Amino acid sequence: MNVTELFWAWADACVAKEVDTIADLYCTDATHAFPFRDGTPVIEGREAIRRHLAEGFGRAPVSFSGIKHAIVHHTEDPHTVIAECTFEGTLTSTGAVFEPSYVEVLTERDGLIGAVRDYENLAYRAAREVAHR
Protein backbone atom coordinates (compact mmCIF):
# COMPACT_ATOMS: atom_id res chain seq x y z
CA MET A 1 0.00 0.00 0.00
CA ASN A 2 1.08 3.57 -0.53
CA VAL A 3 1.06 6.02 2.38
CA THR A 4 -2.39 7.45 1.62
CA GLU A 5 -3.93 3.97 1.37
CA LEU A 6 -2.21 3.06 4.64
CA PHE A 7 -3.70 6.07 6.39
CA TRP A 8 -7.23 5.17 5.28
CA ALA A 9 -6.79 1.49 6.17
CA TRP A 10 -5.43 2.53 9.58
CA ALA A 11 -8.24 5.05 10.19
CA ASP A 12 -10.99 2.62 9.15
CA ALA A 13 -9.55 -0.10 11.39
CA CYS A 14 -9.36 2.41 14.28
CA VAL A 15 -13.06 3.22 13.84
CA ALA A 16 -13.81 -0.51 14.07
CA LYS A 17 -11.30 -0.97 16.94
CA GLU A 18 -9.78 -3.88 15.01
CA VAL A 19 -6.56 -4.26 16.98
CA ASP A 20 -4.96 -6.98 14.85
CA THR A 21 -5.86 -5.28 11.59
CA ILE A 22 -4.32 -2.02 12.82
CA ALA A 23 -1.18 -3.65 14.22
CA ASP A 24 -0.63 -5.70 11.08
CA LEU A 25 -0.34 -2.45 9.10
CA TYR A 26 2.87 -1.58 10.99
CA CYS A 27 6.44 -2.67 10.21
CA THR A 28 7.86 -5.01 12.85
CA ASP A 29 10.13 -2.19 14.11
CA ALA A 30 7.63 0.67 13.68
CA THR A 31 7.12 3.46 16.19
CA HIS A 32 3.95 5.20 17.34
CA ALA A 33 4.63 8.42 19.24
CA PHE A 34 2.30 10.64 21.28
CA PRO A 35 4.10 14.03 21.38
CA PHE A 36 1.31 15.85 23.27
CA ARG A 37 0.96 13.31 26.09
CA ASP A 38 2.84 13.60 29.37
CA GLY A 39 6.33 12.21 28.93
CA THR A 40 5.86 12.07 25.13
CA PRO A 41 5.63 8.26 25.04
CA VAL A 42 6.84 6.30 22.03
CA ILE A 43 5.61 2.75 21.50
CA GLU A 44 8.30 0.74 19.71
CA GLY A 45 7.64 -2.36 17.63
CA ARG A 46 4.53 -3.89 16.07
CA GLU A 47 3.82 -6.24 18.98
CA ALA A 48 4.15 -3.47 21.56
CA ILE A 49 1.81 -1.34 19.45
CA ARG A 50 -0.63 -4.29 19.29
CA ARG A 51 -0.58 -4.60 23.12
CA HIS A 52 -1.00 -0.85 23.55
CA LEU A 53 -4.01 -0.83 21.22
CA ALA A 54 -5.62 -3.83 22.92
CA GLU A 55 -5.24 -2.23 26.35
CA GLY A 56 -6.40 1.20 25.21
CA PHE A 57 -9.40 0.06 23.19
CA GLY A 58 -10.30 -2.37 25.96
CA ARG A 59 -10.68 0.36 28.55
CA ALA A 60 -11.89 3.29 26.42
CA PRO A 61 -15.66 3.74 26.85
CA VAL A 62 -16.05 4.84 23.23
CA SER A 63 -17.88 3.40 20.25
CA PHE A 64 -16.83 4.93 16.93
CA SER A 65 -19.23 5.08 13.98
CA GLY A 66 -17.03 6.74 11.39
CA ILE A 67 -14.74 9.55 10.42
CA LYS A 68 -16.55 12.87 10.40
CA HIS A 69 -13.79 14.86 8.75
CA ALA A 70 -10.44 14.00 7.20
CA ILE A 71 -7.98 15.84 5.02
CA VAL A 72 -4.78 14.14 3.92
CA HIS A 73 -1.90 16.49 3.10
CA HIS A 74 0.97 15.21 0.99
CA THR A 75 4.48 16.31 1.89
CA GLU A 76 7.73 16.68 -0.02
CA ASP A 77 8.53 13.16 1.20
CA PRO A 78 6.39 10.81 -0.93
CA HIS A 79 6.33 8.32 1.95
CA THR A 80 4.85 10.74 4.53
CA VAL A 81 1.39 12.30 4.87
CA ILE A 82 -0.10 14.61 7.44
CA ALA A 83 -3.76 13.86 8.11
CA GLU A 84 -6.23 16.02 9.98
CA CYS A 85 -9.13 13.89 11.14
CA THR A 86 -12.10 13.88 13.47
CA PHE A 87 -13.64 10.60 14.51
CA GLU A 88 -17.36 10.23 15.15
CA GLY A 89 -18.68 8.25 18.05
CA THR A 90 -20.41 8.06 21.39
CA LEU A 91 -19.33 7.51 24.95
CA THR A 92 -20.73 4.11 25.85
CA SER A 93 -20.98 5.11 29.51
CA THR A 94 -23.32 8.05 28.85
CA GLY A 95 -24.37 7.96 25.18
CA ALA A 96 -22.91 11.45 24.72
CA VAL A 97 -21.48 12.41 21.34
CA PHE A 98 -17.71 11.95 21.20
CA GLU A 99 -15.79 13.51 18.31
CA PRO A 100 -12.07 13.62 19.07
CA SER A 101 -9.76 15.32 16.59
CA TYR A 102 -6.21 14.41 15.66
CA VAL A 103 -3.33 15.34 13.45
CA GLU A 104 -1.53 12.20 12.35
CA VAL A 105 1.88 12.21 10.70
CA LEU A 106 2.23 8.82 9.06
CA THR A 107 5.32 7.50 7.31
CA GLU A 108 5.29 4.43 5.07
CA ARG A 109 8.17 2.01 4.69
CA ASP A 110 8.06 -1.03 2.39
CA GLY A 111 4.29 -0.82 2.06
CA LEU A 112 3.67 -0.73 5.84
CA ILE A 113 3.52 1.96 8.49
CA GLY A 114 7.02 2.79 9.68
CA ALA A 115 6.07 5.59 12.04
CA VAL A 116 3.08 7.48 13.36
CA ARG A 117 3.23 10.72 15.31
CA ASP A 118 -0.19 11.01 16.92
CA TYR A 119 -1.16 14.55 17.95
CA GLU A 120 -4.48 14.11 19.71
CA ASN A 121 -6.66 16.91 21.04
CA LEU A 122 -6.06 16.20 24.72
CA ALA A 123 -8.14 19.17 25.88
CA TYR A 124 -11.22 17.73 24.16
CA ARG A 125 -10.58 14.31 25.70
CA ALA A 126 -9.97 15.77 29.18
CA ALA A 127 -13.16 17.83 29.01
CA ARG A 128 -15.07 14.58 28.50
CA GLU A 129 -13.09 12.68 31.14
CA VAL A 130 -12.04 9.86 28.79
CA ALA A 131 -8.89 7.92 29.62
CA HIS A 132 -6.03 7.85 27.11
CA ARG A 133 -6.26 4.98 24.65
pLDDT of residue 131: 54
Answer whether residue 121 is part of any domain. yes
Answer whether residue 132 is part of any domain. no
pLDDT of residue 6: 98
Which domain range does residue 23 map to? 3-127
Answer whether residue 64 is part of any domain. yes
Give the domain CATH number at 81.
3.10.450.50
Answer whether residue 133 is part of any domain. no
Integer Cα distance of 114 and 127 in angstroms: 32
- pLDDT digits 0-9 by tens, 82-105: 999 999 999 998 899 999 999 999
- pLDDT digits 0-9 by tens, 43-85: 999 999 999 999 998 888 899 999 999 999 999 999 999 999 9
pLDDT of residue 132: 47
How many structural domains is the chain composed of? 1
